[in-house]
Amino acid sequence: MNKAADNIRCLALSMVEKAKSGHPGGALGGADFINVLFSEYLRFDPDCPGRWARDRFFLDPGHMSPMLYAQLALTGRFSLEELEAFRQWGSATPGHPERDVERGIENTSGPLGQGHTLAVGAAIAAKFLGHRFGSEVMPQQIYAFISDGGIQEEISQGAGRIAGHLGLDNLTMFYDANDVQLSTMVDEVDTEDVARKYEAWGWKVLTIKGNDVAEIRKALDEALATKGCPTLIIGKTCMAYKALDAEGRDIVDRIPTHGQPLSKAGVSIEKTLGAMGFDAANPFVIAPEVEALYRQRDEELRQLWKQYDATFSQWQKANAEDAALMKDWFDGKLPVIDWAAIEQKSGQATRSASATVLKELAARVPNMIVSSADLSNSDKTDGFLKGTEAMSRNNYGGRFLQAGVAELTMAALCVGMMLHGGVIAACGTFFVFSDYQKPVIRLAALMQVPVKFVWTHDAFRVGEDGPTHEPVEQEAQIRLMEKLHNHSGQRSMLVLRPADVHETTVAWQMAMENDQTPTGLILSRQNIDDLPNEGLTPYARAVRMMCGGYIVSDDEGAEMALVATGSEVATLEAAAAILRAEGRKLRVVSIPSEGLFMDQPESYRREVLPEGMPRFGLTAGLPINLEGLVGANGVIHGLESFGYSAPYKVLDEKLGFTPEAVAEKIRTLLQRR
């Protein structure tokens, strides 16, 4: 066992040396725990890594990737040549791990704190699925590895609180407590009692020597035997464990060994590797006895999965419908939903229209879990809650997670649920508080996790609450994610701001059918008039938004195209009615998703927004929201300051967003032509 951990140390430090870049010190200290976990405890299938019932390991400190890659090389998931290409262009071993289940990487990690919060989300999903199908077929345990930085990141409070509150006894987290950070010692920035903090949250806490194999085994055994709460194992480890200088003296627990090749921190690579039985001239090797250890573990795992398959087969015969349902859930297959049959009340706020859809989804999608940050009765996710129950430690079958005031944590939990698989997760809050969620949104987009974000109170029309709660710049920020592409070449996120209740139905349809990227729904607080249907049914009219944008109303020989998203489309339609009564000919266009619209064939885009037709844009956010659609020769009326506290109709008047004020702006432009 010690030789295998030393092999991980040898490979990890050698990767950093060859790349001349990376973080070797922590990898050397954490090698003992990860080796014990993978060689004796973690249940994974060496021949089928994506097993639904596998245990899952979430790494929080992504900078410790050399440790993970080295460990996965021992399990056969990475070649030694791939380790040698660490941090290079096109390499399978980037500087921070990127999600690849086939290679044993459950999550992309790097932003500290998110990795272990994703693990809490995965544990929630596992509890939900175990409750639904039974622990004999859903026995998976969730393991997380966290460092000092992850403990300090604010998200850890939400993750720790919620995991303890829910009693997630399928979650075990190892805290690599080496007391050394990138630029300081831990005691220079943090003197809290971590153990007591987690105990206060309801965790079982075990403190061990983190480089002692016997103590690691004992702690893992105790964690797996613990019922009713998650377990934190605080492993007191040494930064750069077993590193030696040229005289053979220990060089441990020093800041310089954290974030650079050890040879630059006074470490003798020859002495260090030699003391562990490896050759510095040929370090990219797996020792024969280590190879034998892990091939023996492969055979043990194959027998374990053979037993599981027998158990699953018996269960499947007795529960054929549940077995088929489980497959559908893990395959991401949606049940049939008659979207056109969803009845919406005219003239409602789009958040209320969302509640109507969520009520239907609660009835039709039994593996959907929705969460809200103490706003369910305001962001209207309670439309879903009314069709289910809140999840609790006494009811893991509840499909509504009351996250408390924790937007960042909630978002990561939902992403973690979907990383686990078998569930569809959505979370709601006010749009202005999407600012708290941006780090998770970005990571979800990078990992291509199709979580659903529900953002309400979308503009200054929040009203009396004032500028702290009135989003202005948020739409511009989030739509940047539509412009950013993921590594599959797709737009990294689908962002939809529906213009009325019927567009909201279709927006939810698009969100549920989008299984490739995250989706953001931006919804109004205030009521909005329905758009004209032009001889179509409301659904048939609204479904045209699946092209990203469409013509709402049009006059033959239109003099100008009026462009908007969300509630401003109805304002434009009302302004157009005033001007049409004066004999003006206009076209009104709704563009709920600029990214999706720009992906349409040029012929369609020119059909909706012809070249040469003057354009006027209206947005309750920054004018930049519409610049790509209106163009340099068009005019945009938007908001270029923070909002104000007043009833929203007063704000409409003061800020120039009434139909009459907008009509006057358009009239002036037309008169100049």
CA distances to 65, 138, 420 from 51, in Å: 23, 11, 11
The pLDDT score that the predictor gives to residue 347 is 98
**Residues classed as catalytic:** 407
Is the dihedral angle over the CA atoms 424, 161, 239, 291 positive or is it negative? negative
Q: Hey, do 339-522 and 538-672 end up sharing a CATH topology, with the first three levels equal?
A: yes
Q: What letter represents residue 14's amino acid? A: S
Domain boundaries, the chain: 1-300, 339-522, 538-672
In the block, residue with structure tokens 């969300």 = 566
The pLDDT score that the predictor gives to residue 620 is 97
The pLDDT score that the predictor gives to residue 252 is 87
For residue 652, how far is the Cα from the chain centroid?
A: 35
Report the percentage of the chain scoring pLDDT > 70.
100
Residues 6+ apart with CB under 8 A from 214: none
Q: What letter represents residue 505's amino acid? A: T
Q: Phi/psi class of residue 113: alpha, beta or left (left: φ > 0; alpha: ψ in -120 to 50)? A: left
| Mean pLDDT to the nearest integer, 349-371 | 98
Query: How many angstroms separate the CA atoms of 564 and 592, rounded?
Result: 8
The pLDDT score that the predictor gives to residue 253 is 87
The pLDDT score that the predictor gives to residue 633 is 85
Query: End-to-end alpha-carbon separation of the chain, Å?
Result: 82
Structure tokens at 457: 């109170």
CB 529 within 8 A of CB 574: yes
17 phi and psi angles, rounded to 5 deg: -60, -45
Give me the torsion for CA of 124, 148, 172, 302, rounded to 10°. 100
User: Under CATH, what is the fold of the domain 1-300?
Assistant: Rossmann fold (3.40.50)
The pLDDT score that the predictor gives to residue 1 is 72
Query: How many angstroms separate the CA atoms of 608 and 619, rounded?
Result: 19
Banded pLDDT at 615 (limits 50, 70, 90): very high
| Mean pLDDT to the nearest integer, 355-374 | 98
CB 211 within 8 A of CB 29: yes
Q: Residue 49 class from Cβ within 10 Å (0-12 exposed, 13-18 middle, 19+ buried)? A: middle
Query: How many angstroms separate the CA atoms of 625 and 281, rounded?
Result: 57
User: Under CATH, what is the fold of the domain 339-522?
Assistant: Rossmann fold (3.40.50)
570 phi and psi angles, rounded to 5 deg: -65, -35
In this structure, CATH architecture of domain 538-672: 3-Layer(aba) Sandwich (3.40)
Structure tokens at 651: 């704000």
The pLDDT score that the predictor gives to residue 451 is 98
pLDDT tens sequence across 268-294: 999 999 999 999 999 999 999 999 999
